[in-house]
Structure 1
Amino acid sequence: MGKSVVNAGHDDADVIVVGAGPAGSSAAYHCASAGLDVLLLDKASFPRDKICGDGLTPRAVKELVAMGVPLRESDGWIRNKGLRVVGGGHRLELPWPELSSYPSYGLARTRMSLDHALVEHARAAGAKLLERTNVTGPVLDERTGRVVGVTARPVDDDGRRSGDEITYRAPVVIAADGVSARLATGLGLAKRDDRPMGVAVRTYFRTPRDQDPWMESHLELWDGAPGRSNLMPGYGWIFSLGDGTANVGLGSVSSTAAATKVDYKDLFGKWMANAPAEWEFTPDNQIGPVRGAALPMGFNRGPLYGRGLMLAGDSAGMVSPFNGEGIAYGLQAGRFAADAVVQAASRGSAAGRERALGTYATRMKDDLGGYYTLGRYFVKIIEHPQIMRLCTRYGLPRPLLMRFTLKLLSDCYEPRGGDVVDRVISGLTKIVPAA
């Protein structure tokens, strides 16, 4: 699998990772920590911005801890104690559950800062980072059709070509190249139209509540006074960042990949016109424009491994249909992918290496397939604002139901054992067909 086994003397690395977001940096870190030669390629230079809510659930925190990432407040992290849910005339504060599998706190940090910290963590572990390197496609073995590398060209800070195309070779490539999924599409791996697709927009505001210890979620968006105006599609969030600002955004999800006709920036403006006054979300306090991004969900592209190529993060549609969370699953995918690559490196035959690499897809599907299937059912129910209104009005006042909902939406439950809520969720994920 490594240089001494496959294409000895011709490879540039043991593994090439394309994209240095959370999934790519996680994969690069874990591979490098195990002693592999890692080439990490990204078209941008760091630090760089990404459209995101900037909030991390306890599941994501667990992955950061597993990577040994320092989580000190002085490094830019702010901890949160749970979810504040607003909707249906109710306002509830739901603490993160106390579990053995996950920490009982979440985090927030801007993606510009988070991704920079993660890529530097991977580089410190030994990964070689090439910035401003735009990967243009896969390199295939003429005899087997297997991916044996990538082609790339250097670009400047504006993304313009600044040099000749280069070929990089490795026995396995991890595609963590985001929503565009250029490597996957280069192999003809199209996204599935029967998987949910989300859209999110966000901006930043200066606010006196930048130290708020709760991640706030608005389950209803009104274009005027709540209850006396039109209910708009989607949900909103307010995540305090501890630096004088908050990330404020809204998202919406469809049960299919059909393009939406909603003007989300207009929607955002109407919501902000009626936002809680104590946050001071005024035009004068807004920092930067409202920007949007697609959220590919529920394993909307696959296979997760085949012909020497692994898909991780958004390139495989690993965003949760329940909450729009993608960072936790990208970090997890990077760790699982690295485990498979490291094991394959020790195998003495091509067949043995393929079996080891194939464990990546199996582990991801076993862990998340049933959960994502439940998420598809969930989206079909809540994509209609009227149904969401009924759920919030009559569901929020019921503590047991809300405890169930929090664990389900945040994917923070004990997979084995735990209380009755944990056992119900775990059982549901096992009886539905895997995504």
Structure 2
Amino acid sequence: MPSSLQPSADADVIVIGAGPGGSAAAYHMASHGLDVLLLEKTEFPREKVCGDGLTPKSVKQLLRMGIDTSTEAGWMHNKGLRVVAGPTQMTLDWPTLDSYPSYGLTRTRLDFDDLLAQRAVTGGARLRTGVNVTGPVFDRAGRVVGVEAVVGPDKEPETLRAPIVVAADGVSGRMALALGINKRDDRPLGVAVRRYYYCAEKHDDDYLESWLQLRSAANPDVLMPGYGWIFGLGDGRVNVGLGVLNSSTAFGRTNYRQLLGDWLSATPEEWGMRDETNADGPIRGAGLPMGFNRVPHYTRGMMLVGDSGGMVNPFNGEGIAYAMESGEVAAQFAADALGRSSAPAREAVLRRYPRELSDRFGGYYRMGGVFVKLIGNPTIMKLCTEHGLKHPLLMRFVLKLLANLTDARGGDAMDKVINGLSKVAPAV
């Protein structure tokens, strides 16, 4: 086994965090025959702040893990996106592509993450919950060779070792920070808040709904910052939330929970979203690290996956698809590296991991950074929504661009334009 390279190792790879990125990495690494130790600080099931909406890009990654995405397995299917801007609406179906399924999904993170973690286990990974990783273990050369952790309710200290460590520990990026990998302020960042409501009118909506203009009942003539969503969960509830980007002047100076309440005050009364008694749980918020806002994604024996590497799509705030895809990519490079017989050869393979991520997403994320700056201007945002929604062909192009849904080979004219722009844009 590759772990024989380090006789004292507890695994070939230690993955920190059993969110979508960590579980995908663990599953694919185990599929490559590696001994994988997946560490999660909490116990399942557990809450995560998320819109709970999955585009076909995420669905593809679920299918690559062999997960049953049927309605019988508890998934709510959707056909596409409904865009709402004041009185104007447009409904857009997901594009028909060779590379992606033609449907999206919704499912709460309460059991979504548990499902993925258990899939990693059935694939061969070893899951340990209640293990809070506190920092890396270094060898004499400063390379990461394991982790320090506290375990269980008594917080017993434990040291675990592996020749490769994958940090999938989310927005906080504790492991990345321990290696001096700080967030970049020149990259997009968002804040999102969401709440569950019981809503008979919207819970079984087969389109994800995106609101590009937010207004309050108290002051309907004033456009509020941010964008909103309403995603039906199919169980009587909807996930309702909003996000604000750091290109907005309101970023960091707004009570986001109050902002959500103000917007919901203007929704139809029959939806029940104005009424606290229809709410299921509190308002929860989280950061959205976008556009590779923490790099490099590999250094000194540690790989970054998902939110720990700032991999949220700047165009639409989607993070799950990129977390899972980066986990699969990390697995490929880890397996290749551990199959090499010398330390320099293994290191050379691992150093190609950031380049692969940059090739896949770097140019697209660069365009996303420009997009974020543009829509941060209320005048530009108003022009785009008021005029763009009148042109169905343009909006179909925008949907492909925002959701990053194109065929890499062949495809239609829209695919060729988006793919071409991504290639010529300088990678972040």
TM-score, with length taken from structure 1 = 0.95
| Contact 2:225–2:250 (Cα < 8 Å) also in 1 | no
Letter in 2 for 1:340: F
Identify which of 135, 140, 154 aligns with 1:137: 135
Q: Tell me what 1:339 maps to.
A: 332
Identify which of 359, 367, 384 aligns with 2:360: 367
| Contact 2:193–2:284 (Cα < 8 Å) also in 1 | yes
Q: Tell me what 2:19 maps to.
A: 21
C-alpha distance in 1, partners of 2:25/2:152?
24
Letter in 2 for 1:202: R
- Give SS of 1:31's match: helix
- Give SS of 1:165's match: strand
Deviation at 1:225? 7.7
C-alpha distance in 1, partners of 2:415/2:77?
24
| Contact 2:16–2:39 (Cα < 8 Å) also in 1 | yes
| Contact 1:83–1:96 (Cα < 8 Å) also in 2 | yes
Letter in 1 for 2:150: R
Q: Tell me what 2:2 maps to.
A: 2
Q: Tell me what 2:300 maps to.
A: 307
Q: Tell me what 2:170 maps to.
A: 178
Q: Are residue 408 (structure 1) and residue 401 (structure 2) matched?
A: yes
C-alpha distance in 1, partners of 2:270/2:357?
42
After TM superposition, the structure 1 = structure 2 runs for residues 129-168 of structure 1, keeping only pairs within 5 Å, are 129-142=127-140, 144-156=141-153, 162-168=154-160
- Give SS of 1:295's match: strand
Letter in 2 for 1:313: G
Letter in 2 for 1:49: E
Deviation at 1:261? 1.1
C-alpha distance in 2, partners of 1:236/1:265?
13
Mean Cα deviation higher: 53-62 or 163-172? 163-172
- Give SS of 2:328's match: helix
Unaligned 5+ runs, structure 2 = none
C-alpha distance in 1, partners of 2:86/2:418?
25
Q: 1:73 to 1:383 in 2, by over 3 A?
A: same
Q: Tell me what 1:220 maps to.
A: 213
Q: Tell me what 2:114 maps to.
A: 116
Unaligned 5+ runs, structure 1 = 157-161
C-alpha distance in 1, partners of 2:269/2:312?
32
C-alpha distance in 1, partners of 2:295/2:399?
29
C-alpha distance in 2, partners of 1:70/1:18?
25
Deviation at 1:278? 4.6
Q: Tell me what 2:285 maps to.
A: 292
Q: Tell me what 1:269 maps to.
A: 261
Q: Tell me what 1:48 maps to.
A: 46
| Contact 1:43–1:135 (Cα < 8 Å) also in 2 | yes
After TM superposition, the structure 1 = structure 2 runs for residues 60-75 of structure 1, keeping only pairs within 5 Å, are 60-75=58-73
Deviation at 1:357? 1.6
Letter in 1 for 2:356: R
Letter in 2 for 1:74: E
Mean Cα deviation higher: 278-287 or 11-20? 278-287
Letter in 2 for 1:2: P
Q: Tell me what 1:159 maps to.
A: none
| Contact 1:232–1:385 (Cα < 8 Å) also in 2 | no
C-alpha distance in 2, partners of 1:395/1:46?
43
| Contact 2:248–2:376 (Cα < 8 Å) also in 1 | no
Aligned length: 426
Deviation at 1:306? 1.2
Q: Tell me what 1:327 maps to.
A: 320
TM-score, with length taken from structure 2 = 0.97
Write out per-residue CA displacement over residues 329-371 of structure 1, whole angstroms, 9 at most, x where no aligned residue.
0000110000111111211111221122223212111010001
C-alpha distance in 1, partners of 2:106/2:83?
17
Write out per-residue CA displacement over residues 196-254 of structure 1, whole angstroms, 9 at most, x where no aligned residue.
1100000101111311100000000001389x421000000000011111100000111
Letter in 2 for 1:150: V
| Contact 2:289–2:311 (Cα < 8 Å) also in 1 | yes
| Contact 1:224–1:230 (Cα < 8 Å) also in 2 | no
Letter in 2 for 1:59: K
Q: Tell me what 2:187 maps to.
A: 195
Q: Tell me what 1:76 maps to.
A: 74
Q: Are residue 245 (structure 1) and residue 237 (structure 2) matched?
A: yes
Q: Are residue 33 (structure 1) and residue 31 (structure 2) matched?
A: yes
Q: Tell me what 1:421 maps to.
A: 414
| Contact 2:245–2:251 (Cα < 8 Å) also in 1 | no
| Contact 1:136–1:152 (Cα < 8 Å) also in 2 | yes
Deviation at 1:21? 0.2
C-alpha distance in 2, partners of 1:42/1:330?
16
Write out per-residue CA displacement over residues 263-294 of structure 1, whole angstroms, 9 at most, x where no aligned residue.
11110001111113453323221111111000
Q: Are residue 397 (structure 1) and residue 390 (structure 2) matched?
A: yes
- Give SS of 1:261's match: coil
Sequence identity of aligned pairs in percent? 55
Letter in 2 for 1:319: V
Q: What root-mean-square deviation, in Å, do the aligned CA atoms of Structure 1 and Structure 2 show?
A: 1.6
Deviation at 1:256? 9.3
